[in-house]
Amino acid sequence: MSDETVIIGGGPAGSAAAIKLARQGIPVRLLERKPGPHHKVCGEFISYEAAQHLEELGLNFAALGAEPIRHVRFYNGESELIFDLPLTAWSLSRRLLDSALLEQAERAGANVALGTVVRQLSRTDDGWRLVASSQSSVRPASMEFSAKTVFLASGKHELRHWKRNVKESHRQNMIGLKMHFSPSVLHQDQWRNTVEIHLFNGGYAGLEPIENGNINLCFLISQDIYKACGGSWSGILERLSRTSSHMKQRLATLTPCWCEPLAVSGIPYGYIHSPDDAVPNLFSLGDQAAVIPSFAGDGIAIALHTALLAAHIHASGGDSRTYQRLAFNDLTQPVRDAERLAGVLSHRLGRKTAFACARLWPGLTREMIHRTRVGQSNRMQ
Ligand SMILES: Cc1cc2nc3c(=O)[nH]c(=O)nc-3n(C[C@H](O)[C@H](O)[C@H](O)COP(=O)(O)OP(=O)(O)OC[C@H]3O[C@@H](n4cnc5c(N)ncnc54)[C@H](O)[C@@H]3O)c2cc1C
């Protein structure tokens, strides 16, 4: 039995755990199915809480060219609400963020294997057996690993036999789409330091500047809207531009960078790993631990928080049940509050009331954002 800890998945959760474990002298192997840098469906928003963790892990946002985010513009039809963030957030494409973290993991001493897909995870008498295959086009190969402890950080992807125990009420019919655009020279300044959230019936969209001056558009729409647009990208954009004159103006001044958008579906918003489902020596991190509604922009912070908590508990000899219980305690309130808020904002009247209340009591927006954040934990210091 190898005394390596094996991490499945090289997103923010897997890489952060690898860095933390390797820095503490624990032998760690990280298996990531993608062979190199790649885009992911994501708003690319790095909350202040996530940024704090990332800086501690060694990332330098300025050096990576990330855009500081200081303002949020909310839109509900023609209504606009501008909010200044109390603490600076960042915007960086996932392609850059995830690769920078993987490099940092290697630098810390983790054994990182890219292009390696874990096909099977099974229990043995004293730990785990993993069957993986390499994605290499030159020499595709099957391989096996053994480990006493496994960190499961495969994001939205389920491993055969280790699927998340998702309740029916968390199975949603939303489709997530993402596209990078280049803005016209005339409109570049309107994007500086600003993220926009456009709310509409059947979904919402986020627009924000990223490292190279391009703009990321990421949005969620119901399957009904998707079908009504015939599933075509041009039809969906046309439908989006009808949500408000603001969105119409944005889309008219943006040029798509790719031929096709990235898409994802079946995201179990509201899922939280129950401590009752804890399995000895298996730590579930990131989206495998909890899935917060995307508009909260805190999924990366949750990935990092759970990774650092799991690494801390594992390094200090604690077990996975203790970890899953503590993670559950930390994640339940932000995920449930974000779900409640998403419920209110999904209705026309709810959005109107929320905008009116936010204008009357400016502290309310700050309080709502605060309630959807997973806090820094003293336990990990
Ligand atoms: C529409 C949308 C918008 C979002 N916007 C934001 C936002 O703006 N800000 C924010 O903070 N969060 C956002 N999120 C959430 C955020 O993207 C996730 O919470 C975050 O990526 C979770 O990190 P992770 O490491 O758990 O998983 P991932 O980032 O998904 O990483 C999992 C990794 O595991 C690898 N993998 C999967 N299966 C295997 C396997 N069998 N073998 C080997 N490797 C495997 C994958 O290739 C992947 O690299 C958004 C989510 C959606 C759907």
CA distances from 208 to 69, 71, 302 (A): 9, 11, 21
- Which atom of ligand 1 has the smallest separation from the CA of 47? 11
Name the residue among 372, 283, 279, 286 with its Cα closest to residue 332: 372
Residue with the smallest CA separation from ligand 1 atom 35 is 9
Q: Is the CB of 211 under 6 A from ligand 1?
A: no
Q: Is 70 exceeded by the pLDDT of residue 248?
A: yes
Domain definitions of the chain by residue range = 5-168+268-380
**DSSP assignment string, 166-177:** --GGG---EEEE
3-state SS assignment for residue 365 = helix
Handedness of CA 140, 107, 323, 87 (dihedral sign): negative
| pLDDT tens digit sequence for 235-244 | 999 999 999 9
What pLDDT does residue 368 have? 87
CATH topology of domain 5-168+268-380: FAD/NAD(P)-binding domain (3.50.50)
Please list, residue by residue across 75-107, b when 16 or more beta carbons sit within 10 angstroms of its beta carbon and e when fewer do: bbbeeebebebeeebbbbbbbbbbbbbbebbee
What pLDDT does residue 171 have? 80
Q: Is 70 exceeded by the pLDDT of residue 380?
A: no
- Which atom of ligand 1 has the smallest separation from the CA of 300? 11
What pLDDT does residue 138 have? 66
| pLDDT tens digit sequence for 124-180 | 998 999 999 997 666 668 999 999 999 999 999 999 888 999 988 888 789 999 999
Measure the CA–CA gap between 116 and 30, rounded to whole angstroms.
9
| pLDDT tens digit sequence for 45-87 | 999 999 999 999 999 999 999 999 999 999 999 999 999 999 9
Kindly give the distance from the C-alpha atom of residue 156 to the centroid of ligand 1, in angstroms, as a whole number: 6
What do you get for the CA distance between the two ends of the chain, in Å?
31
Element (H, E) at 234: helix 233-241
3-state SS assignment for residue 76 = strand
Hey, which of 159, 300, 306 would you mutate to test ligand 1's pocket, going by the most ligand atoms within 8 Å of its Cβ?
300
- Which atom of ligand 1 has the smallest separation from the CA of 116? 43
Kindly give the distance from the C-alpha atom of residue 182 to the centroid of ligand 1, in angstroms, as a whole number: 24
Q: In one letter, which amino acid is 127?
A: G
Hey, which of 294, 295, 308 would you mutate to test ligand 1's pocket, going by the most ligand atoms within 8 Å of its Cβ?
294
Mean pLDDT estimate for the chain:
94
| pLDDT tens digit sequence for 10-43 | 999 999 999 999 999 999 999 999 999 999 999 9
Q: Is the CB of 287 under 6 A from ligand 1?
A: yes
Q: What is the dihedral of CA 67, 68, 70, 75, to 10 degrees?
A: 20
